[in-house]
Amino acid sequence: DFLNALQEIVPAFGASTDDLERCRVNGMVECGNRHEHIYKRAMLLVEQVKVSRGSPLVTCLLEGPSGSGKSAMAATIGIDSDFPYVKIVSAESMIGLSESSKCARIVKVFEDAYKSQLSIIILDDIERLLEYVAIGPRFSNIISQTLMVLLKRLPPKGKNIMVIGTTSEVGFLDSVGIRDAFSVTYHVPTLKTEDAKKVLQLLNVFSEDDIDAAAEALNDMPIKKLYVLIEMAAQGERGGGAEAIYLGKEKIKISHFYDCLQDIVRFY
């Protein structure tokens, strides 16, 4: 029976690794102290789950502005945990499903986890799982009730689970009571100038003279926007310039970089 159970789990895990890697297609670079601090604390929780006696269920929420790197961080923790069962639950793989089918899938992931001794479940973009929209506001109460119960339900004896949630709508999660259902919450921030500078140095697309100005302009930018912006700027004003830049042969013109920045922040 154990073998059977394992078989059920293995493919789920196999498929899942891919999903985890998709959350960090560009690899991971250092994003500053605050990101690192969160990673370390979360890894301590992973440790705690492993050796736990009294608390077989540890729950942790990563919240922060859109594109600040929450999903990538959660995926990294999952991968680095080396737990036999790591699964990401995301709206991407449930497009078009009815609320109750989504519920069923989420429950299934938890019940699969109950068969493994150590598991991590990532609830990615919880507001999207809940089909949240600010107007109304509207969201799926069926799914929200399910999550609240699952976040409190203890796994069977001998099984330990860590649940990591991510969200950029922590206010909403608060008002439905889901945030409270997590034991710990960490705020994943945008980049500060010094963080942005480190990333830019790694990417090596600016000349020494421009890098400080560029980093300054990127203050308070989420990591995702930084990548989009650099890629736009690398094209150059007339296109076709990216190859040279990425090969390190040329640098991004700071004036064009400013133009692109404008396009991206225009109406904010």
Q: Is 125 left (phi over 0), alpha (psi -120 to 50) or beta?
A: left
Calculated CA dihedral for residues 165, 94, 227, 42, nearest 10 degrees: 20
Choices 33-41, 71-79, 113-121, 130-138; region in contact with Mg ion by CB under 5 A: 71-79
Residue 50 identity: K
Pair 43, 94: CB distance under 8 Å: no
- Residue in the block written with tokens 């600040």: 68
**Residue selected from 13, 17, 28, 193 as contacting ligand ATP according to rule CB under 6 A:** 28
- 228 scored as a contact of ligand ATP (CB under 6 A): no
Choices 27-35, 106-114, 137-145, 189-197; region in contact with ligand ATP by CB under 6 A: 27-35
- 72 scored as a contact of ligand ATP (CB under 6 A): yes
Measured distance CA(196)–CA(35) in Å, rounded: 12
- Tell which positions 132-191 bind ligand ATP, by CB under 6 A: 166, 168
b/e map of 236-262 (b: 16 or more CB within 10 Å)? Answer: beeeebbeebeeeebbbbbebbeebbe
Q: Is 82 left (phi over 0), alpha (psi -120 to 50) or beta?
A: left
| Interface with a second copy (CB under 8 A) | 22, 25-26, 41, 43-45, 47-48, 51-55, 66, 91-92, 95-96, 100, 103-104, 107, 128, 131, 133-135, 137-139, 141-142, 144-146, 148-150, 152-154, 170, 175-177, 180, 183-187, 225, 227-228, 231-232, 235, 237, 239-240, 242-243, 246, 263-264, 266-267
- 71 scored as a contact of Mg ion (CB under 5 A): yes
Measured distance CA(231)–CA(234) in Å, rounded: 5
Return the one option of Mg ion, ligand ATP, a second copy, none that residue 72 interacts with (CB less than 5 to 8 A, by type).
Answer: ligand ATP
Whose Cβ is closer to a second copy: residue 120's or residue 176's?
176
Closest CA to 127 of 138, 113, 112: 138
Whose Cβ is closer to ligand ATP: residue 211's or residue 223's?
223
**Residue selected from 71, 140, 146, 160 as contacting ligand ATP according to rule CB under 6 A:** 71
Phi, psi at residue 89, to the nearest 5°?
-105, 115
CB atoms closer than 10 angstroms to residue 192: 17
Choices 70-78, 136-144, 155-163, 234-242; region in contact with ligand ATP by CB under 6 A: 70-78
Per CB under 6 A, residues contacting ligand ATP are: 23-29, 31, 66-72, 125, 166, 168, 223-224, 227
Per CB under 5 A, residues contacting Mg ion are: 71
